[in-house]
Chains A and B, each alone.
Chain A
Amino acid sequence: MTDLTTSSGGAASGQTGISSADLGLRRRHRKELRLKILGMAAILFAATMLFILLASIVSSGYKAFTQTHLELEIEVQEDLIPADNPARGDYQAMVEAALLDYYPDAADDERRAITSILSSGAALKLRDNVLSDPDLIGTQTTVNVPVSDNYDQLNKDLLDRDLPENRRRLDDSQIAYFDRLEDAGIVSAPINWTLVTAADSRFPELAGLKGALIGSFWALLVCFLISFPLGIGAAIYLEEFAKKNRTSDFIEVNINNLAAVPSVVFGLLALAVFLGWFGMPRSAPLVGGMTLALMTMPTIIISTRAALKAVPPSIREAALGVGASKHQVVFGHVLPLAMPGILTGTIIGLAQALGETAPLLLIGMNAFITSAPASPVDAATALPTQIYIWADSPERGFVSRTSAAIMVLLTFLVAMNALAIFLRSKFERRW
């Protein structure tokens, strides 16, 4: 029987030889290909979105890592600085005088416009220099001072000179003032250390993330101190000790549901209970950390239980067999073996907590605070809420600073996740 290769007399209609692809079969394969292509298109779409997201943030954010400065030769005039209280000297006048040296023929009304090039941080910088080195009084000193936001934008080409004058933030004469400084060679754009050494400010050129970084640190520390022991305790109990009954089922359902409760609801809880009923301080990282801890705990419990489950029963039986108590087995053998998995889950949970914003907004961690918190009960912002504040600010300079803050946040998240992956790959044991 060789009728397999000829189409006549096949076993059934449409069935021909196994190597001759008929029309129907080709159609079926085309259908399959279409499915495949759709799948690849879906992945490509997701990849494109991720790429656009990262690219737009990096391309708008990298400019915030520099800040336009002017190198001014300033005469520190003794008569403008009260001897008994040098901090209250009229440094603004000195800086302005140094700047106006470049415009000897400027009229009075022009002078006001020219001095607006200077950031209000310029005088502060001179003051700090003088306060740290009083010998400067009465001498000439060279200081690198920041320029105000619009001119910073101009220098970074973020302000389009070709736009009609009435749609620009700087008119032609203002641009001309700045160009003169550029010609004089005193404009530079060094790395913007302010971004990490200063706290928030209304002026983009003076605003930094220090307060937010420290606030996030306190909040995460509190979150870890609460959620880690509570989460592990609960997980061990449920996994190793609890009897399968109504109560443990109820707890389990509870934990699974808590993990899926919208984060803003935890904010409402914190607002009503921690702030409203217990009278805890508003905007404090302590409260933020407690709220985040409640949200992180289910994650830690779930990953801890998975890690405990992965420890083979033979280890438990071996230890029980030599007469160890249940507690000794769990704390002496099972828990240490499960630790890498638990730590991995905890770090991933903390990374989620670091990016969490909504509950912190409700407890007031979006306040405008110009100094870094000294303790977890001081008012502070956190990294994500700082991003929210800056994204909401109208000044142009905050656009790139928001992106820069996002880059900082993402860097931390990547670092934490990398640590988690490293821990997993380094210590993971397959049984």
Chain B
Amino acid sequence: MTTLAFALLFVLACTGYVMNRRAAQAIWADGTRLHSLSNFHGLYSLLLVVIPIFVLIILWLLLAPFVINAITVASLPADVMSEASSGQAQLILAEISSIAGGRVFGDPEPWKIDAANRLVFLNEASSYALVAAVVVLGAALAYFARQRVSAEFRARQRVETMVSGLMIFCATVAIFTTIGIIAALVFETWKFFSMVPFTEFLFGLNWEPQIPIREGQIAGAGAFGWLPVILGTLVITAVALIVAVPTGLMSAIYLNEFAPKSVRSVVKPFLEILAGVPTVVYGFFAILVVAPAIRSFGQSIGLDVSPNTALAAGSVMGVMLIPFISSFADDALSAVPNALREGSLAMGATRGEMMTTVLFPAAIPGIVGGVLLAVSRAIGETMIVVMAAGLIAKMTINPLDSVTTVTVQIVTLLIGDTSFDNPKTLAAFALGLMLFLVTLLINVFALRIVRKYREAYD
């Protein structure tokens, strides 16, 4: 039925377009000079029909289930519902909707079957109502648009206003996304802190979130101190940077100053390949090759190395960040005005001296910005650590130990059972909020540095 609604919308819009265009052409054929081209009269009708009806359909699809569920719940026997907790009510509703979908398990009570039938009826009624609404409203709008066709009608301005409105809407989607992220994270985190004290989260040294969701599950008592998690994140980030920063900077210096053009034209796209490899592939590479290699090397020199070391995850993440840092540093070096390079060379500096004494120091703000962005990437990177780092939070900075990270915890807490009323799930959102805030701070700071730096040399 949804497809039908969209199809009808399409038909109505096209009809409106053609009708208006024809009408405008007819006026023009009579010898009257139109204010706007006939095409704009057509577009006027098209947009006037499409925009409101599209919004109507989307809203309907989003809101109808809530309304229907509310009606269904309201019609349930009062004695059943008054005893049920909100969780049980959810379960009953889920059972009713699965009966309505034709999947009957066991022998449901007759009132549930009644409710299911009602649900089916309501759903169908809603679909028909949607289609009817689309047709009636669409026809009305098309008729209205048709009435307005006249020689003096400023169709072009109207169309342009509507298009501008659409574009402004598009631009604000980015704002809404940010608002959505913040709202979702803050809202769920708020619930989390109503269950777990804020100070425990911020200063606690234990992270054992595997608490029972249902009664009778075997699980730990639960502790939600995020310090070991953030420490693990920092250890892995540090390992990644130790790999990525020197390698990235050195390769950028070489490419920017010393590499012959032919080498540069080969190496640059090849580094881009490294940047384009999905992180899930790096994660698999870490567990398939790097972790076993580190482990066997550690054992050969008599070290006890855990199978999912911070070193394995961090070094693979470092490889992932090499192209990132390299291209930032390359851009920063290229942004240094040629006059400084020539000035230094003309003083009799070697290219190496020019690089280390003038170019590189001059490019440092840009490079620092790039490294900071890499840090924020490393902190937020998920798949490599989910696959190659550990699950248990430990207060350690030994890179040969297994540590966990913020992103690993978010993913493991949210895979599988997710109900939004226990601290285990909500803890993930609290971590997510922290992750968002930390990376946001670093990003804003880094982008500002980079921008300032570019302005300084423009």
- The residues of A with any CB-CB pair to B shorter than 8 Å are 28-29, 31-36, 38-43, 45-47, 49-50, 52-53, 56-57, 60, 229-234, 236-238, 241-242, 250-251, 253-258, 260-269, 271-273, 276, 278-279, 294, 297-298, 301, 325-327, 331, 351-352, 354-358, 361-362, 366, 384-385, 387-388, 391-392, 399, 402-403, 406, 409-410, 413, 417
CA distance A271 to B450 in the complex (A): 33
Sampled A-B contacts (20; CB under 8 Å): A43-B254, A46-B247, A49-B274, A230-B170, A237-B171, A242-B171, A254-B175, A258-B178, A268-B181, A268-B429, A269-B184, A272-B184, A358-B279, A358-B382, A358-B386, A358-B407, A361-B411, A362-B411, A385-B280, A410-B277
Q: For B296, what are the chain A residues with a Cβ–Cβ distance below 8 Å? A: none
Contact, CB under 8 Å: B177 / A269: yes
In addition to A251-B171, A251-B175, A331-B163, 15 A-B residue pairs with Cβ atoms within 8 Å of each other are: A35-B258, A46-B326, A234-B167, A258-B178, A262-B379, A262-B436, A264-B432, A268-B432, A279-B66, A327-B160, A356-B278, A357-B279, A358-B279, A384-B278, A406-B281
Q: For A232, what are the chain B residues with a Cβ–Cβ distance below 8 Å? A: 170
Q: For B377, what are the chain A residues with a Cβ–Cβ distance below 8 Å? A: 260, 262
* Min distance, Cβ A429 to any Cβ of chain B, angstroms: 21
Of B70-78, B198-206, B298-306, B414-422, the stretch lying at the interface with chain A is B414-422
Contact, CB under 8 Å: A36 / B164: no
Contact, CB under 8 Å: B174 / A410: no
CA distance A271 to B249 in the complex (A): 38
Which of B163, B188, B258, B387 is A388 in contact with, Cβ under 8 Å?
B387
Of B112-120, B143-151, B265-273, B338-346, the stretch lying at the interface with chain A is B265-273
Contact, CB under 8 Å: B280 / A39: no
Given the known inter-chain contacts A49-B319, A263-B382, please indicate yes or no for A42 contacting B178, CB distance below 8 A: no
Q: For B180, what are the chain A residues with a Cβ–Cβ distance below 8 Å? A: 269, 273
Q: For A238, what are the chain B residues with a Cβ–Cβ distance below 8 Å? A: 171
Question: Tally of A-B residue pairs with Cβ under 8 A?
Answer: 265
CA distance A276 to B420 in the complex (A): 8
Mask, B274-304, CB within 8 Å of A = 1, is: 1011111111110111000000000000000
* Min distance, Cβ A79 to any Cβ of chain B, angstroms: 35
* Min distance, Cβ B453 to any Cβ of chain A, angstroms: 15
Is B363 on the interface with A (CB-CB < 8 A)? no
Contact, CB under 8 Å: B281 / A237: no
CA distance A225 to B184 in the complex (A): 24
* Min distance, Cβ B360 to any Cβ of chain A, angstroms: 10
Is B173 on the interface with A (CB-CB < 8 A)? yes
* Min distance, Cβ B401 to any Cβ of chain A, angstroms: 22
Is B153 on the interface with A (CB-CB < 8 A)? no
Contact, CB under 8 Å: B258 / A391: no
Q: Which of chain A's residues has its CB closest to B318's CB? A: A49
Q: For A262, what are the chain B residues with a Cβ–Cβ distance below 8 Å? A: 376-377, 379-382, 407, 435-436, 439
Which of A53, A265, A266, A269 is B277 in contact with, Cβ under 8 Å?
A53
Contact, CB under 8 Å: B250 / A38: yes
Q: Which of chain B's residues has its CB closest to A47's CB? A: B270
Contact, CB under 8 Å: B411 / A358: yes
Q: Which of chain B's residues has its CB closest to A278's CB? A: B62
Contact, CB under 8 Å: B435 / A265: yes
Contact, CB under 8 Å: B439 / A260: yes
Interface of A is mostly: helix
Closest 8 A-B residue pairs measured CB to CB? Answer: A39-B254, A262-B380, A355-B278, A32-B352, A233-B170, A272-B184, A42-B250, A237-B167
Q: Which of chain B's residues has its CB closest to A386's CB? A: B280
Is B195 on the interface with A (CB-CB < 8 A)? no
Q: Which of B317-372 contact A (CB under 8 A)?
A: 319, 322-323, 326, 350-353, 355-356
Of B18-26, B79-87, B391-399, B440-448, the stretch lying at the interface with chain A is B440-448
* Min distance, Cβ A40 to any Cβ of chain B, angstroms: 6
Contact, CB under 8 Å: B383 / A297: no
Q: Which of chain B's residues has its CB closest to A49's CB? A: B319
Q: For B277, what are the chain A residues with a Cβ–Cβ distance below 8 Å? A: 53, 355, 410
Contact, CB under 8 Å: A39 / B171: no
- The residues of B with any CB-CB pair to A shorter than 8 Å are 62, 65-66, 156, 159-160, 163-164, 166-175, 177-178, 180-181, 183-185, 187-188, 246-251, 253-255, 258-259, 267, 270-271, 273-274, 276-285, 287-289, 319, 322-323, 326, 350-353, 355-356, 373, 376-377, 379-383, 386-387, 407, 410-411, 414-415, 418, 420, 428-429, 432, 435-436, 439-440, 443-444, 447
Q: For A403, what are the chain B residues with a Cβ–Cβ distance below 8 Å? A: 284, 288
Contact, CB under 8 Å: B177 / A258: yes
Q: For A234, what are the chain B residues with a Cβ–Cβ distance below 8 Å? A: 167, 170-171, 173-174
Q: For A331, what are the chain B residues with a Cβ–Cβ distance below 8 Å? A: 163
Contact, CB under 8 Å: A263 / B164: no
Contact, CB under 8 Å: A251 / B376: no
Q: For A402, what are the chain B residues with a Cβ–Cβ distance below 8 Å? A: 284
Q: For B248, what are the chain A residues with a Cβ–Cβ distance below 8 Å? A: 42
Q: For B171, what are the chain A residues with a Cβ–Cβ distance below 8 Å? A: 233-234, 237-238, 242, 251
Q: Which of chain A's residues has its CB closest to B249's CB? A: A42
Q: Which of chain A's residues has its CB closest to B246's CB? A: A42
* Min distance, Cβ A204 to any Cβ of chain B, angstroms: 16
Q: Which of chain B's residues has its CB closest to A250's CB? A: B175
Contact, CB under 8 Å: A264 / B411: yes
Contact, CB under 8 Å: B322 / A46: yes
Given the known inter-chain contacts A254-B178, A272-B429, please indicate yes or no for A261 contacting B440, CB distance below 8 A: yes
Contact, CB under 8 Å: A391 / B283: yes
Given the known inter-chain contacts A39-B255, A57-B285, please indicate yes or no for A271 contacting B279, CB distance below 8 A: no
* Min distance, Cβ A218 to any Cβ of chain B, angstroms: 15
Contact, CB under 8 Å: A388 / B280: yes
CA distance A298 to B373 in the complex (A): 16
Q: For B170, what are the chain A residues with a Cβ–Cβ distance below 8 Å? A: 229-234, 237
Contact, CB under 8 Å: A39 / B174: no
* Min distance, Cβ B214 to any Cβ of chain A, angstroms: 19
CA distance A241 to B280 in the complex (A): 40
Q: For B270, what are the chain A residues with a Cβ–Cβ distance below 8 Å? A: 47, 50
Q: For A241, what are the chain B residues with a Cβ–Cβ distance below 8 Å? A: 164, 167
Q: For A366, what are the chain B residues with a Cβ–Cβ distance below 8 Å? A: 415
Contact, CB under 8 Å: A39 / B177: no
